[in-house]
Amino acid sequence: MRKGDLTRQSILERATGLASKVGLDGVTIGALAAELDLSKSGLFAHFRSKEALQLQVLEFGATQFLEQVIRPSLAEPRGEPRLRALFDRWLDWTRSSPLPGGCLFVQAAVEFDDRQGSVRERLVGIQRQWLGVIATSLQKGIDAGAFAGGVDPEQFAQDVYGVMLAYHHASRLLHDPHAEARARRAFEALLAGARGAAH
Amino acid sequence: MRKGDLTRQSILERATGLASKVGLDGVTIGALAAELDLSKSGLFAHFRSKEALQLQVLEFGATQFLEQVIRPSLAEPRGEPRLRALFDRWLDWTRSSPLPGGCLFVQAAVEFDDRQGSVRERLVGIQRQWLGVIATSLQKGIDAGAFAGGVDPEQFAQDVYGVMLAYHHASRLLHDPHAEARARRAFEALLAGARGAAH
DNA sequence: GAATATAACGAACGTTCGTGCTATTATTTG
DNA sequence: CAAATAATAGCACGAACGTTCGTTATATTC
């Protein structure tokens, strides 16, 4: 591995953390260079455009998310354990030290939902995949008989993500100490609903 | 009413819509002035600082929200009708024409959750009040016997807001055509849970 | 209508933004 | 160790940022 790839990696790591706080647009090349004791132009040379930097930040974050949230959860047995793992690990993800501003994708989703371009498109792909993982995890649970047949996986995925977003809001903006406990209760209620034949 | 107050009002109206798209920081004084055929300095003179402009945008939005969402909902009878009104009107709010970028507060919440200062503080106040309205609306329903006694109003408020945020995400970022239908189902499930003695 | 207050303008300030070029170091390769 | 390549620094650019200033035009008040 070349040296350049090494520094590029550390740039992306820092940029990802910064983006979780101030957004992908808020990650300024000058500020990022200053944080890393690099010159603006030296840092810029690694990406050659800000959009490319943003895309690589998204890619870096997606890889981290895959390794920290999705992959270990998919190692859990189907049904409730796997869904619980996804939920727990997502909560941990939003509080992990490389993301001082919470979930990078929550920030980016709000920032880019009214724009066009490759960054938005990549973000949509990432978020669809994430919701897809939740949905198919439930579907596999249904197939295994752990959940009722009438449950809609896409409905469940949107519901679970809502619990996560509400936690993120209550926790990060309002600093509500009960945010996590409520999120867990809400998630348990969703699981209970999927278990029983409700709705 | 002075002429200045009139133009300031139209500035705030435009700024609020713009902020729903690009955030409170994204509302640039130059761009705002260009949209309104005003000079930068002429517009700036109305606020004397960007922070003051942001605060007034928040205030303007809060007033609109009060008039379009909260007040008419509180006119509905207690219990389910009032809660349904809050939910329906919130959905309408995020799609209303003066907010082409969706809910101003959803955008601002993510943008300012890692900052300090008066803008964040005001935003926290607004969001606490909003969750409070949901919670006390449920509480009044409990008092009237429409909902079970064991239901936690704050839990309910966070849950409902989660349904809203998930809708906002699925609808605005993913352009999911089923987002609203799922949000309505989720909301009905929450109501059903509050009716019965569940959790 | 004259006097006064308010509103809007145009130009400029210093800073920071993203992005080029060119030179100079480090690092890898032969 | 020399030659080739890659990585970083330095400097400059045009544009946009928020902000201040002095001045002109427009409303409001008497």
List strand D contacts in A 161-190 (CB < 7 A): none
How many Cα atoms sit within 13 Å of B166 on the Cβ side?
31
> Torsions phi, psi of B96, nearest 5?
-70, 150
User: What distance in Å separates the CA atoms of residue A109 and residue A72, rounded to the nearest whole number?
Assistant: 24
d(CA B84, CA B26): 33
Work out the mean pLDDT of chain B and round it to a whole number: 97
Considering only CB atoms, which chain A residues are within 8 Å of B198? 189
Residue whose CA is minimally distant from D8 C1': A42
- In this prediction the pTM is 0.96
Whole-number pLDDT of residue A2? 86
Tokens 């995890």 locate to: A137
pLDDT at residue B199, as a whole number = 46
Count of residues for chain B?
Answer: 199
Separation between Cα atoms, residue A82 and residue A148, nearest integer Å: 16
Query: Percentage of chain B surpassing pLDDT 70?
Result: 98
Determine the Cα–Cα distance for residues A102 and A149; give it in Å rounded to an integer.
35
Q: What angle do CA A85, A89, A94 make, to 5 degrees?
A: 155
Checking each nucleotide's C1' against the CA of B28, the nearest proves to be D17
Token reading at A73: 């959860």
Q: List C-alpha distances in Å: B180 to B87, B91, B189.
A: 11, 9, 14
Nucleic strand D within 7 A of Cβ B46:
no
Beta carbons of B182 and A155 less than 8 Å apart:
yes
CB contact under 8 Å between A182 and B155, yes or no, is yes
Is B25's pLDDT higher than 70?
yes
- Is the Cβ–Cβ distance between A62 and A104 less than 8 Å? no
Nucleotide nearest to A4 (CA to C1'): D7
**How confident is the model at residue A101, as a pLDDT?**
98
Average pLDDT on B145-168 reads 98
Q: Which positions in chain B touch A23 (Cβ < 8 Å)?
A: 23, 111
pLDDT of residue B4 exceeding 90: no
**Positions of chain C reached by protein Cβ under 7 A:** 6-12, 16-22, 27-28
pLDDT in tens, chain A (199 residues): 688 899 999 999 999 999 999 999 999 999 999 999 999 999 999 999 999 999 999 999 999 999 999 999 999 999 999 999 999 999 999 999 999 999 999 999 999 999 999 999 999 999 999 999 999 999 999 999 999 999 999 999 999 999 999 999 999 999 999 999 999 999 999 999 999 855 4
Q: Which residues of chain B does A183 touch, with a Cβ-Cβ cutoff of 8 Å? A: 158
**Amino acid found at A135:** A
Is A22:B114 a contact under the CB 8 Å cutoff? Answer: yes
**3 state SS for chain A:** CCHHHHHHHHHHHHHHHHHHHHHHHHCCHHHHHHHCCCCHHHHHCCCCCHHHHHHHHHHHHHHHHHHHHHHHHHCCCCCHHHHHHHHHHHHHHHHCCCCCCCCHHHHHHHHHCCCCCHHHHHHHHHHHHHHHHHHHHHHHHHHCCCCCCCCCHHHHHHHHHHHHHHHHHHHHHCCCCCHHHHHHHHHHHHHHHHHCCCC
Residues of chain A contacting residue B183, judged by C-beta atoms under 8 Å apart: 158
Tell me the pLDDT band of B197, cut-offs 50, 70 and 90.
Answer: low
Query: In Å, what is the separation between the CA of A7 and the C1' of C29?
Result: 21
> B102 CB contacts (<8 Å, ≥6 apart)?
A113, A114, B20, B94, B95, B168, B171, B172
Q: How far is the CA of A41 from the C1' of C19 (A)?
A: 9
Bases along strand D below 7 A from a protein CB: 6-12, 16-22, 26-28
> Residue A104 corresponds to which tokens in the numbers above?
């990078």
Residue A152 phi/psi, 5° resolution? -95, 115
pLDDT at B168: 98
> Which residues have CB under 8 Å from B164's CB, separation 6+?
A162, B87, B90, B91, B183
pLDDT for the residue B7: 97
Count contacts between A and B (CB, < 8 Å): 127
Q: Is B198's pLDDT higher than 60?
A: no
Q: How many residues does chain A have?
A: 199
Given an 8 Å threshold on Cβ–Cβ distance, is A185 in contact with B128?
Answer: no
User: How much is the pLDDT for A199?
Assistant: 46
Which amino acid is located at A193 in the chain?
G
B36 Cβ neighbours under 8 A, 6+ residues apart: B10, B11, B14, B43
pLDDT tens-place string over residues A60-114: 999 999 999 999 999 999 999 999 999 999 999 999 999 999 999 999 999 999 9
List the single residue in A with minimal CA-CA distance to B192. A199
Tens digit of each residue's pLDDT (9 = 90 or more) over B62-103: 999 999 999 999 999 999 999 999 999 999 999 999 999 999
Pairwise CA distance, residues A13 & A57, whole Å: 8
A164 vs A170: CA distance, rounded Å: 10
Query: How much of chain B exceeds pLDDT 90, in percent?
Result: 96
Structure tokens at A85: 């793992």
Among chain B residues, the shortest Cα distance to A165 is held by B162
Region B55-65: mean pLDDT is 98
Q: Going by C-beta distance under 8 Å and a sequence separation of 6 or more, which residues neighbour residue A84?
A: A76, A191
Query: What is each CA distance from A46 to A55, B84, B153, in whole angstroms?
Result: 13, 52, 51
With CB atoms and an 8 Å threshold, state whether B185 touches A169: no
Q: What is the pLDDT of residue A197?
A: 59
